[in-house]
Structure 1
C-alpha cells in the first residue's frame, strides 16, 4: 500500500517472450521441456499450446496491435492458434482497445512443415553461423569445449545492445567478418606499435595472447577473435564448404544427375561427418521424393554401408512423413526452378552471387506476395472475412520454430522497403540439430516410443532398447 503517496505512475508491460533482434522474437519453447506436438503431427501438446497462446498475445499487446489474422490453410495447428488468438482478443476487449489508426496490421501464422529445407542448411552469416555450429541460448554461447580457450571466454554473451561489433557484423558472411576483425585488430596493433604480420585468424589469436594490454583495450574484439577462430576451425574440420555447396544446389537447382553423383561421393568420404551426410540425403529426399528416378532407397543403403546406424537413417523416412510433398501446402521447390532463369540473369547483372548463400527462405516468397496484395486467400485465408488493404505492419509467427536465416531476410526487407514493418517470431529458434531432434522425438512419440515401424526404403530398423 502506497501510504506515503510516493508512487507516481503504474504501467503494465507485456514481455512474455524473448526479444532477440529488433524485428525477431522467440517463445523459447524447445524440446524436451516443451514438446510441440500432441498425439499426432497435426495436434498441439496442451501445455505448449497454452504457453504459445500467452506468448503470442503478449507480443501483440506489447506492440499495441489488434491485427487481422491469416494462416496456412493446410495447417490444422495454425488454424487452431488463429481461432484462439481471435477469441482471446474479443474476450479481452479492454486490453486490446487501442487507438484507431490508418495502419493495416496482419498476424500471419505459418507452419514449419511447409518449409523444412531452411533449418537444414549450413549458415554463413555471423549470427546464424554461431547458432548452427555452437548454439545461442538466451544470448549466451558455450565455448568450454573449444581447444585452448581461456577461462574468461568459456562462456560469452552476444548482445546487439551492448556489443557494437556484433551489432555491426550480425549479417555479414564469414569472409567479410574476418576482414573486419582483422582491421579492428590492426587498429589496436598500431596503438601498441607492434610489427607482427597479421594475415589470418590464427595470427589474430596469437597477437591477442602475446599482448595482454590489447585484451584490456579491445574489450569485445578479443571475444570475437576467439569466436570466429572457432567457427573457422569447425568449417575446416567438418569440410562445410563442400557440404554447403551441395546443400545449396539441392535447395535451389534441379540437376538430379550432378547432385546424385556429388552426394554419393560425399557419403563415401571419411572426411564428412555423419550429421552432414544425413542432412544432405534429407535435402535430396525432400527435393526428389516425387521423381520417378529418385535414388532415395539406394542412398539410404549407402549410408548404412558407410557405417551409419539404421536408427539414424530412419530420420529420412520420418522427415518425409513430417514434411514430404503431400504434407506441404506450397510447392517448395517448383518456385526455385520456375524463377531460376530470371534469377540467373539478375545475378549476371549484379555480379557473381556467393554459391554458399543462394538459398532464399520460402518465407520470402510468402511475404513478397503479401506485401503486393497477391497472397492467395485460398491458401492463406483470413480468419474473419477479407480485407483488401495491403498490410503495412506484418507480425509473423512460425509454429515449429523460425531460423536466423529467416530473421536476416526480414531485417533486410525492413531496411529496403519503406512503409512496411515486419516482425518475425516462432515457438523457438532452430538450428539443424534442434530441428531434427524435434522432428525425430515427435514421431517417436506417435509410434509408441519405438522406431520399429516399417521403413519405405527397404530396411527394417531394430526396436529401440
Structure 2
C-alpha cells in the first residue's frame, strides 16, 4: 500500500491548492474570493472550479512555477492585444501588479473574474510556501519518500533534519505530524520511546499518538523492538539511482506508485506474479498489437474525407479503494497523454493530506460515532402518511336543551329517543305499565284495542260491504244482503301441513 503519497506535499497547481487553501469540495468545488477589492463594489463570492473553466483545466496538472509563468504570459499577451489598458509605468512581472491591473477591466467581467481567481489562488499558495518553510520541509520529504537524496545517493543525517524542523515554530502542527509519520514509515518503525521523543519535540497533543498508532491498521509500521530487524520489503518499483536528476524539479522527484504501475502496464512489462490477470488474454502479444494498431482495421483515407476522425484509444480503468489523491489523478493524465491511452480513475472520494490524517485517526473510534452512510437506518416515509382520519364524534346532548343548530339532522330508522324530563332536574315521567297490562293482542279478551268506527255501507239499496276481515279477529260485521238476510261469516279454513294433511 502506498502510504507516502497521501502525506507528502505536492506542488502541482490542483494538489497544492487543495492542500493549502480552504477549498470546499462538495457537490461543487468552490473557493471564496474577494472580487473588486479596494472599490465600492467589493464583495466576497464563491468561485467554482469546474471543467468549464479553461484556465483551471489547462493548468491544474502543471507545477506551480509553470502555472504562474503561464498565467502571467497569457495576461501579457492580452495586454499586447489591448494596449490601451497599459500605462507606461506599469509592471507586468509580478502577480500583485497584475491583480491591480485586473481591477480596471470592467468590460471583460468574465475574463477578469477567471484570471483574478487563479492569480489570487497562486499568490496565496506561494505565500504559504514561503511563510511555513515548505521550501525547507519538502527536500527531506522527497528524500524519505524516494529513499535517495538529491544526488540519488543514500541519505545521511535524516533524523537531525527532522528534529530541527519539528522544533521550528514556523512549521504548522499538521506539517509536523505528517513529517513524523513519514519518518516512521521511512525507518520501518522505531522503539516506542523514540516516538514519544519525536512527539515531545513537535509539541503535539497526546491524541496524535493514537493517529500514529493507527497506521499499523493499514499496513504501516511505526513501532518495533530494539533488537527487532527491519522487514525485508523491497518497493514494487524501486527508484533508479542512475536516472538523471532534474535540478529545476528536485522538489518533485517522488512519483506515486500508481504512475509506475501504469507506465509498466502500457509498456507490457508489468510483473504478472504481482499483478495477475483476472482473465488471461488468448493472445500474449495482444497488448503489443493494440499499441501499434492493425493494418487490416485501418480504413482508406479517402473514405473519411470531411468526417471527424474518432480516436480509437485503448481504455484503462483504475479503481482506487479508500480514496485517491490529486497527485494520483495527475499521474493518470500524464500517462494517458504520453502513451496515447484513455485512463479513467474511479474512486469513492478524493483525498487531501488533512482528510487522510483525520480518517486514520477515526480507525480507532467507535463506528456508531462516525455516522457512516452504510450504518444509517433506511429512510422511512413519515408516519402521518399512514394514519387514517378519525370520524367526527356527534355533538353531546345537554339535558333540557334542544339539538345544536349546527348539528347534522338525525338519520332515518333506529329506536326512539328516551323521554326527557320536562325541565332540568325534574322527575322522569313513569312508563304506562297499567295501560299496557290491559292490552290484548289476540282475540277472546274482554278488553280490545279501540278501533276506528266502520265506514258507512257502500250503497243504500242493499249493496254489500266488500271489506276484508281478518280471520283471526274475534268479531265480524254483518250487513243485510239482497233478500234482507244477513251474511254468514266465512268459516275458517283449516291449516294443512306441507304434505297436504289436515292439522
> Normalising to structure 2: TM-score of the pair?
0.57
Alpha-carbon distance between aligned partners in 1 of 2:208 and 2:147, rounded to the nearest angstrom: 27
Q: Is the 8 A contact 1:396 1:424 kept in 2?
A: yes
The match for 1:122 is 9
> CA shift at 1:267, angstroms?
0.2
The match for 2:31 is 142
Tell me: CA distance 1:143–1:247, structure 2 relative to 1, closer, same or farther (3 Å).
farther
Tell me: CA distance 1:287–1:340, structure 2 relative to 1, closer, same or farther (3 Å).
same
The match for 2:115 is 221
The match for 2:235 is 334
Alpha-carbon distance between aligned partners in 1 of 2:128 and 2:234, rounded to the nearest angstrom: 30
> CA shift at 1:278, angstroms?
0.7
Q: Deviations over 1:297-348 (max 9, x none)?
A: 425423224421010232222113323159xxx9886356x433132xx33x
Choose from 381, 385, 394 the match for 2:316: 394
Tell me: CA distance 1:144–1:223, structure 2 relative to 1, closer, same or farther (3 Å).
closer
The match for 1:275 is 174
Aligned residues: 321
Tell me: CA distance 1:378–1:447, structure 2 relative to 1, closer, same or farther (3 Å).
farther
Q: Deviations over 1:235-264 (max 9, x none)?
A: 223222222222111101244542211101
Q: Is the 8 A contact 1:397 1:425 kept in 2?
A: yes
> CA shift at 1:212, angstroms?
4.7
Alpha-carbon distance between aligned partners in 2 of 1:333 and 1:151, rounded to the nearest angstrom: 56
Alpha-carbon distance between aligned partners in 1 of 2:111 and 2:367, rounded to the nearest angstrom: 55
Tell me: CA distance 1:189–1:234, structure 2 relative to 1, closer, same or farther (3 Å).
same
The match for 1:357 is 252
Instruction: Give the SS at the match of 1:120.
Output: coil
Q: Is the 8 A contact 2:30 2:48 kept in 1?
A: yes
Tell me: CA distance 1:245–1:333, structure 2 relative to 1, closer, same or farther (3 Å).
farther
Q: Deviations over 1:362-403 (max 9, x none)?
A: 112222333344434443344456664438432110001111
Structure 2 matches for 1:413-424, cutoff 5 A? 413-418=335-340, 420-424=341-345
Q: Which runs of 5+ in 1 are unaligned?
A: 1-113, 450-465
Q: Which runs of 5+ in 2 are unaligned?
A: 149-153, 223-230, 291-313, 371-503
Alpha-carbon distance between aligned partners in 2 of 1:363 and 1:332, rounded to the nearest angstrom: 18
Alpha-carbon distance between aligned partners in 2 of 1:393 and 1:362, rounded to the nearest angstrom: 20
Choose from 440, 448, 454 the match for 2:361: 440
Alpha-carbon distance between aligned partners in 1 of 2:5 and 2:105, rounded to the nearest angstrom: 42
Q: Deviations over 1:246-293 (max 9, x none)?
A: 211110124454221110100000110010011011111112115xxx
Q: RMSD between aligned alpha carbons?
A: 3.2
Where relative contact order (Cα < 8 A, 6+ residues apart) is larger, the structure is: 1
> Normalising to structure 1: TM-score of the pair?
0.61
Q: Deviations over 1:183-217 (max 9, x none)?
A: 23334445212232133222222333455556565
Instruction: Give the SS at the match of 1:155.
Output: strand
Alpha-carbon distance between aligned partners in 1 of 2:232 and 2:46, rounded to the nearest angstrom: 42
Alpha-carbon distance between aligned partners in 1 of 2:19 and 2:211, rounded to the nearest angstrom: 19
Tell me: CA distance 1:237–1:167, structure 2 relative to 1, closer, same or farther (3 Å).
same
